[in-house]
Amino acid sequence: MKKLSVAIAAGALLASPVFANDYQAELGLVYGQVDTKLDLGPFGSFDDDASSTTLYGEVFFDTVDTSKGPLAEASFLSKSSGLSLSYTTVEDVDDDSWALGGRFVFGNDYIIEAGYSSVEDSTSWGAGFGKYLTDSTDLVVSYSTNDDANLDTLSADMHSVVSLSGDASLAYTLGLSYLDADSETGFGIAGDLTYYFNNNLGIGAGVSQQSFDSVDITTWQVFADWFVTNNLDLGLSYSDTDMEIIETSMIAANASFRF
C-alpha cells in the first residue's frame, strides 16, 4: 500500500505543470534496513536486523537559486543560510534521536556552522568556521564533542563542485580529523565522489577510516540520487561499517520534496 501511494503521488507530480526551480524549504523521509553482525570467533556469530525511519526538514532564510549546477548541490552553490531538523526512530529501540543544525553564510563568504543532537542519555554538539575559497569550493574547520562517549573531534573538510562538459559535473568532499576518546587518541580520513550526468542525476561512492590505538573503524558507501522533477528527489544508498568483530550494513531509500 505504501509503495502504491508513493507511485500515485509521483505520477501526479509528473503529470502536473513544470515546477519553479527555486525553493526555500525541503521536507524528506529516509527509510533504512540495518543488519548488525557480531563475530565471536570459535563461539559463532550473532546477527540482528532492525529498520529505521528518519524525518527531516530544512528551511532557508532566502530563496535557493538552482540554476548554478546539480540540484543536489543547489544550497551549497547558492551559498544559502538555513536551519535543519531531523528525527529518527529505530525498530525495537525505546529512545529516539533528534538533531538540530544550522549553516550561516555571510556576504564576505565566511561560514559558521553549529549542530546539536541527542539520543538516549547521550548528547553531542559541534561548531565550525570556514570560508568559500571559490564560488564552488569551501573549507570548514569544526569541533564536536560527545559527552557519553567522551569523544572530542577536530576536523577540516573541503567540498567542491567541478563543471565538466555539457551539463555533467563532479562533486567531491575530503576530510581529515583528530580524535580524542577518553584515554586514547586517533586520526580519521574521509572522502566521497559524486558524478552528475546532468543536473538531475548523480551516482557516487565514499569511504572513511578512523584509527585508534585499540581499534580501526572503516566505513564505505555507494549511493544514487535522482530528481524526478526539479522539486521531487529520490535516492538509494548502501553502506557498510567494519569495527573489528562488529560489522553493520545498511540499505536506505529516501524521498524529499522542495517548495
Residues 68-88: tens digit of each pLDDT? 999 999 999 999 999 999 999
DSSP H helical segments within the chain, as ranges? 2-15, 74-77
Q: Please, which contacts does 206-214 make with residues 24 or more away whose CB atoms are closer than 8 Å?
A: 206/173, 208/175, 210/177, 210/179, 210/186, 211/186, 211/187, 212/179, 212/181, 212/184, 212/185, 212/186, 213/184, 213/185, 213/186, 214/184
Q: What is the mean pLDDT of the segment spanning 105-123?
A: 93
The CATH class of 22-258 is: mainly beta
- Per-residue pLDDT band at 254 (split at 50, 70, 90): very high
Confidence of residue 95 (pLDDT cuts 50, 70, 90): confident
The one-letter amino acid code at 196 reads Y
Residue pointed to by grid coordinates 528518519 = 54
pLDDT of 105 > 70? The answer is: yes
Q: Domain locations in the chain?
A: 22-258
Distances (CA, A) of 207 to 80, 161, 182, 235, 239: 27, 18, 25, 18, 9
Mean pLDDT over 211-230 rounds to 94
pLDDT at res. 41? 67
Compute the mean pLDDT over every residue in the chain, rounded to the nearest whole number.
Answer: 90
